[in-house]
């Protein structure tokens, strides 16, 4: 990240400062031309005065000097015909390049200020993240536009100079300025790329491979979810989805169900069949209680909004990175670098408040079956994560392999290991972040002892592997 910060610093500050050098040289040329014209005018006047005072004896010599000075003066005046215009262009180029430097300073200060403000409270983080991103995006566009304006002014200066001296030098000076024309074209492309990449946050698209289970298809499952929601005082989800490739989560983000591309809006509860096939009913209930607890908290909608905004920013950065990977170009990099630095500065506050919400949701989930069941569920899901991934890989690699059956069979044959370092892992979530499992268990005030560990690494029992299927197979029977 330090290397990216240095690149952003160079792009925002050093590059505009470098652009001030050419208009500074152009201003020097203006003053030299003006001083030279002034000296020649004074010399011609002095020669005329000597011609008048020295008389006939010195006339040939004085007239020759006067003629030479007059010719030089006329040539210089012709070349300085647009001198005032060039002076304005030089000052304009210098001022606009300096303005780009000021905007770059402002962008760095804005990122730093927003980062500090965001750490003050969740409300300021929520109020800062989206508007801050838009302000930085507009600032980058303005910065690039100012640099483009400065270079255009420099180029117009040279065009004006060549036009004024066309009789003596033609257009050859413009040929030596090909690097400047290339820079103008490059900056124009950079501005267009930045405008497309940073103008709008892309809409968050959450695609899931699974099956939607309405209440009339799985009434037993819905009754079980309703019982949990009533215990924790949470609203019911609008949709319940079962699948394989994710962990437990709830979201208010619009969901696109694959492969039929069915659109879901409102609150969605996602249940992974892999974990549900090897967890006990009370462990699963604790996790679902945790997920529904996100909707039970008073600041849930703001938390969802924050997570969605953060995820949209990540998607924007991923889109820029994908563009750079598909078609490497220097014109993608400044927008990518600045976006990364902005998000990295605010990530510390985002992760702090996001993890704080997870701990609060854990406390809500503990109301369902007690803190011990909730802690056991967290520890077991952490221990099972690697096994679930292997079962999913096997089902994708070999045709006809059922991921759930492969998982249950593997856990019956091979013991689950729970090394010390795995307690510092975090659980995967499509649009959020979680604290380490050890921290979550400690927050529940449950001792991480041999009894809890043994429960987490047990082989799946017949009850573990059948209770959820019974909810789906017996819809007419109360769960």
pLDDT tens digits for 263-273? 998 899 999 99
Average pLDDT score over residue span 299-309:
63
pLDDT at position 338 over 60: yes
**Separation of alpha carbons 262 and 214, rounded Å:** 13
- With beta carbons less than 8 A apart as the criterion, state whether 333 and 7 touch: yes
CB atoms within 10 A of CB 421: 7
**Separation of alpha carbons 479 and 476, rounded Å:** 9
- With beta carbons less than 8 A apart as the criterion, state whether 148 and 187 touch: yes
pLDDT at position 38 over 90: no
- pLDDT band at 464; cut points 50, 70, 90: very high
- With beta carbons less than 8 A apart as the criterion, state whether 44 and 69 touch: yes
**Separation of alpha carbons 97 and 240, rounded Å:** 56
pLDDT at position 97 over 90: yes
Highest mean pLDDT among 135-144, 399-408, 425-434: 399-408
Average pLDDT score over residue span 135-155:
87
pLDDT at position 130 over 90: no
Tell me how far the alpha carbon of residue 275 is from its chain's centroid.
Answer: 32
For residue 124, with 0-12 CB atoms within 10 Å meaning exposed, 13-18 middle and 19 or more buried, which class applies? middle
Question: Which helix (H) or strand (E) covers residue 241, if one does?
Answer: strand 239-243
Instruction: Pull the structure tokens for residue 227.
Output: 């019982």
Contacts of 1 (CB under 8 A, 6+ apart): 340, 341, 344
Long-range CB pairs of 261-268, under 8 A, 24+ apart, other chains included: 262/212, 264/212, 264/238, 264/239, 265/238, 266/237, 266/238, 266/239, 267/235, 267/236, 267/237, 267/238, 267/239, 267/295, 268/237, 268/238, 268/239, 268/240, 268/241
pLDDT at position 68 over 70: no
pLDDT greater at residue 52 or residue 109: 109
Average pLDDT score over residue span 25-45:
76
pLDDT at position 320 over 70: no
Instruction: Pull the structure tokens for residue 103.
Output: 């905007």
Q: What pLDDT score does 280 carry?
A: 96
pLDDT at position 304 over 70: no
- With beta carbons less than 8 A apart as the criterion, state whether 146 and 110 touch: no
CB atoms within 10 A of CB 45: 12
Q: What pLDDT score does 299 carry?
A: 47
- pLDDT band at 82; cut points 50, 70, 90: confident
Question: Which helix (H) or strand (E) covers residue 49, if one does?
Answer: helix 21-54
Q: What pLDDT score does 430 carry?
A: 47
Of 9-18, 152-161, 419-428, 436-445, least confident by mean pLDDT is 419-428
Q: What pLDDT score does 399 carry?
A: 81
pLDDT at position 47 over 80: no
**CA torsion angle 461 465 469 471 (round to 10):** 40
Contacts of 128 (CB under 8 A, 6+ apart): 114, 117, 118, 346
**Separation of alpha carbons 171 and 173, rounded Å:** 6
Q: What pLDDT score does 269 carry?
A: 95
Q: What pLDDT score does 431 carry?
A: 44
**Separation of alpha carbons 199 and 57, rounded Å:** 79
**Separation of alpha carbons 249 and 240, rounded Å:** 11
**Cis omega (within 30 of 0) on the bond before 49?**
no
Highest mean pLDDT among 65-79, 139-153, 268-282: 268-282
Question: Which helix (H) or strand (E) covers residue 19, if one does?
Answer: helix 15-19
pLDDT at position 101 over 80: yes
Instruction: Pull the structure tokens for residue 318.
Output: 């991923």
pLDDT at position 367 over 50: yes
| Count of residues in the chain | 479
pLDDT at position 217 over 70: yes
pLDDT greater at residue 190 or residue 29: 29
**Separation of alpha carbons 128 and 131, rounded Å:** 6
Average pLDDT, the chain: 81
**Separation of alpha carbons 294 and 364, rounded Å:** 9
**Percentage of the chain surpassing pLDDT 90?**
35
Q: What pLDDT score does 168 carry?
A: 64
- pLDDT band at 74; cut points 50, 70, 90: low
Q: What pLDDT score does 387 carry?
A: 92
Average pLDDT score over residue span 211-218:
93
Q: Which of 342, 355, 379 is nearest to 458 (CA)?
A: 379
Q: What pLDDT score does 297 carry?
A: 74
pLDDT at position 475 over 70: no
Average pLDDT score over residue span 89-110:
94
**Separation of alpha carbons 79 and 43, rounded Å:** 18
Q: What pLDDT score does 326 carry?
A: 64
Give the Å distances, CA to CA, from 265 to 111, 239, 268: 34, 8, 8
The model's pTM: 0.67
- pLDDT band at 54; cut points 50, 70, 90: low
Q: What pLDDT score does 310 carry?
A: 74
- pLDDT band at 158; cut points 50, 70, 90: confident
């Amino acid at each position: 990240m330090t290397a990216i910060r240095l690149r952003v610093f160079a792009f925002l500050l050093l590059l505009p400062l470098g652009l001030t050098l050419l208009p500074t040289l152009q201003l020097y040329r203006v003053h030299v031309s003006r001083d030279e014209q002034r000296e020649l005018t004074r010399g011609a006047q002095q020669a005329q005065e000597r011609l008048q005072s020295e008389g006939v004896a010195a006339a040939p010599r004085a007239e020759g000097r006067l003629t030479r000075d007059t010719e030089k003066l006329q040539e210089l005046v012709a070349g300085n015909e647009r001198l005032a215009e060039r002076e304005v262009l030089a000052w304009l180029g210098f001022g606009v390049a300096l303005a780009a430097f000021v905007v770059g300073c402002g962008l760095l200060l804005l990122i730093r200020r927003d980062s500090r403000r965001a750490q003050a409270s969740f409300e300021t983080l929520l109020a800062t993240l989206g508007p801050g991103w838009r302000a930085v995006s507009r600032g980058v566009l303005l910065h690039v536009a100012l640099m483009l304006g400065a270079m255009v002014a420099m180029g117009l200066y040279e065009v004006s100079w060549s036009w004024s001296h066309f009789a003596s030098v033609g257009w050859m000076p413009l040929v030596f300025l090909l690097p400047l024309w290339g820079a103008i074209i490059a900056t124009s492309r950079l501005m267009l790329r930045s405008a497309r990449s940073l103008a709008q946050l892309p809409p968050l698209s959450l695609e899931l491979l699974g099956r939607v289970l309405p209440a009339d298809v799985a009434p037993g499952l819905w009754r079980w979810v309703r019982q949990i929601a009533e215990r924790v005082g949470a609203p019911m989800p609008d949709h319940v989805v079962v699948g394989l490739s994710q962990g437990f989560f709830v979201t208010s983000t619009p969901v696109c169900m694959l492969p039929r591309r069915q659109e879901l809006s409102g609150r969605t509860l996602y249940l992974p069949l892999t974990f549900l096939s090897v967890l006990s009913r009370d462990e699963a209930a604790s996790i679902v209680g945790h997920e529904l607890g996100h909707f039970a908290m008073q600041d849930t909608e703001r938390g969802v909004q924050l997570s969605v905004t953060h995820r949209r920013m990540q998607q924007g950065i991923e889109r820029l990175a994908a563009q750079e990977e598909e078609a490497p170009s220097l014109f993608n990099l400044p927008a990518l670098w600045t976006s990364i630095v902005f998000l990295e500065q605010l990530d510390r506050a985002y992760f702090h408040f996001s993890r704080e919400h997870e701990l609060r949701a854990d406390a809500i989930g503990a109301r369902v079956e007690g803190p011990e069941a909730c802690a056991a569920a967290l520890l077991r899901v952490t221990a099972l994560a690697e096994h679930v991934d292997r079962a999913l890989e096997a089902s994708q690699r070999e045709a006809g392999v059922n991921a759930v059956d492969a998982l249950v069979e593997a856990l019956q044959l091979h013991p689950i290991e729970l090394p010390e370092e795995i307690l510092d892992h975090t659980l995967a979530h499509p649009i959020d972040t979680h604290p380490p499992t050890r921290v979550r268990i400690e927050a529940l005030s449950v001792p991480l002892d041999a009894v809890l560990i043994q429960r987490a690494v047990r082989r799946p029992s017949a009850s573990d592997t059948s209770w959820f299927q019974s909810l789906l197979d017996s819809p007419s029977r109360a769960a």
